[in-house]
Amino acid sequence: MSSTQDLDFSSTSADASLTTPTQASSLAKGDHILIQNQPCKIVSKSASAPGKHGHAKISFVALSLSNGKKYTDICPAHHIVQVPIIARKEYLVIDITTEGFLSLFDIHNPEVTKDDIHAPGVETEVGQRLSKLWEKVTEGGEGEVWVVVLGTMGMEVVDAVKEAGKD
pLDDT at 83 over 90: yes
Q: Which residue(s) pair with 73 in the sheet?
A: 60
In 3-state terms, what secondary structure has residue 77?
A: coil
Q: Which residue(s) pair with 41 in the sheet?
A: 32, 63
Q: How far apart are CA 25 and CA 19, in angstroms?
A: 17
Tell me the helices (H) and strands (E) count for the chain, helix number first. Answer: 1, 11
For 17-31, 48-62, 69-83, which range has the lowest pLDDT when averaged over its residues?
A: 48-62
Closest CA to 74 of 93, 98, 47: 47
Query: In the chain, what percentage of residues exceed pLDDT 70?
Result: 89
Q: What is the pTM of this model?
A: 0.77
64-78 residue pLDDT tens: 998 889 999 999 999
Confidence bin at 124 (pLDDT 50/70/90): confident
- For the chain, the C-alpha Rg in angstroms (whole number) is 20
